[in-house]
Amino acid sequence: MSASTDLFARAQRLIPGGVNSPVRAFRSVGGAPFFVKSAQGATLTTADDRALIDFVCTWGPAIHGHNHPVIKAAIAAALEHGTSFGTPNPYEVEMAELIVRFFPSIHKVRMCNSGTEATMSAIRLARGFTKRDKIIKFAGCYHGHSDSLLIKAGSGALTHGNPDSAGVPASFARETIVLPYNDVAALEAAFTANPGQIASVILEPYCGNVGFIMPDAGYLQAVRDVTARHGALLIFDEVMTGFRLARGGVQELEAITPDLTTLGKIIGGGLPVGAFGGRADIMDCLAPRGPVYQAGTLSGNPLAMAAGIASLRLLDELDPYARLDALGARLRDAVKSAAEAKGLPVQVPQRGSMFSIFFNAAPVRDYTTAVQSDAALFKRFFFGCLNDGVYLAPSAYEAGFLSTAHEGSAIDRACEVFTRNLQKL
């Protein structure tokens, strides 16, 4: 019995499904998950001592690769002073200064402990500020597992074929309007049908939880215009894309100014973290200044803040975005070239260090077209790559991620593996 097999058997006796986050269970692709004992650069080392080139990057945070020495040193230095204080600390002030500097739309920011907590809090704040109850989200966009947002979600909910979670009261679901992404007419119609009732529109400006999907030209500006016209707040969920695609996220790339932004992943340098911020008049509605309550014992944790500050400083100093885009383009072109030579229908949307591989003849632009992709073909491709030492997300509906550590031999090897396994399909 392998070490991973033994660990999974033990885990299943004590942990629901044997995992602490559903997509890790491999049910979308079949088989059992492997367990990882260490990670360095672009490589995971499994409990069975297999080395895997990693394109999951801990679902986004590892933009500098795993176990980066600068981030590791920052955590060690912070650890000398303690693990948690339960009081304000200097790190959280520096983190706030960095976020506000990189995101012009954010005038004030509140730290929390996860992306789920950030989006949940941003929705509550939007409702409290506008004194309206309804929100709009988009099919396939995942904003964490809070009740108001786990409706037609992507990511693990989609992977497991159960987009609407049990345990979400129908009364909560009625306050959430779900629309197709990239459909301006549907957005306009929703506001017309619910005059003066919609508090906010929340979206991943570039979708990452139903695979990686880009907006149509002009779509994000149209969403901004519609929300402004109707007095609703626009929330950009940049938990995945913030700092990963540009220092100022998608809103920098697209020159769109949302009212609120949610962040996570990279600002923790690999440790648990989240944040939400935006216009000062909205943020000042939060307790203790305002009536909207939000709290967290570990918010602004010194270890997470130290790791995140180191990660953001590296991005500022190294400005790796052109290099990451070149890596992404090379991967994209290798997959498309090999698929076309084999006559396989494939779409490889890519921007910067994010990408997806959809086995689909048509461009993927929303939830409906994403789920029309050939998941069985992806499963065969996934396991072929895994057997050859390359790890993609174990779902046909997840974005892939690159890091600066993929430069050189890792990207060379990965392109070879992708090409070979596409030729086998």
Tens-digit pLDDT profile for residues 64-120: 999 999 999 999 999 999 999 999 999 999 999 999 999 999 999 999 999 999 999
Asked if 294 and 83 count as a contact pair (C-beta separation under 8 A), the reply is: no
Task: List, for residues 149-168, the tens digit of each pLDDT value.
Answer: 766 555 555 444 444 567 77
Model pLDDT, residue 231? 98
Compute the mean pLDDT over every residue in the chain, rounded to the nearest whole number.
94
Confidence of residue 16 (pLDDT cuts 50, 70, 90): very high
Q: How far is CA 80 from CA 14, 70, 71, 75, 167, in A?
A: 34, 16, 15, 9, 42
Cα distance between residue 371 and residue 376, in whole Å: 12
Backbone phi and psi for residue 120, each to the nearest 5 degrees, phi listed first:
-60, -45
362 pLDDT exceeds 50? yes
Q: How far is CA 31 from CA 5, 65, 324, in A?
A: 10, 27, 32
DSSP secondary structure string, 91-112?
HHHHHHHHHHHH-TT-SEEEEE
Stronger pLDDT, 378 or 176, i.e. the higher one: 378
The fold for domain 3-63+320-424 equals Aspartate Aminotransferase, domain 1 (3.90.1150)
Model pLDDT, residue 48? 97
Q: Where are the domains of the chain?
A: 3-63+320-424, 69-317
Asked if 236 and 254 count as a contact pair (C-beta separation under 8 A), the reply is: no
CATH class (in words) of the domain with range 69-317:
alpha beta
Mean pLDDT of 349-365: 97
Task: List, for residues 241-296, the tens digit of each pLDDT value.
Answer: 999 999 999 999 999 999 999 999 999 999 999 999 999 999 999 999 999 999 99
Cα distance between residue 234 and residue 129, in whole Å: 12
Mean pLDDT of 135-160: 70
176 pLDDT exceeds 60? yes
Catalytic residue numbers?
A: 142, 237, 265
Model pLDDT, residue 241? 98
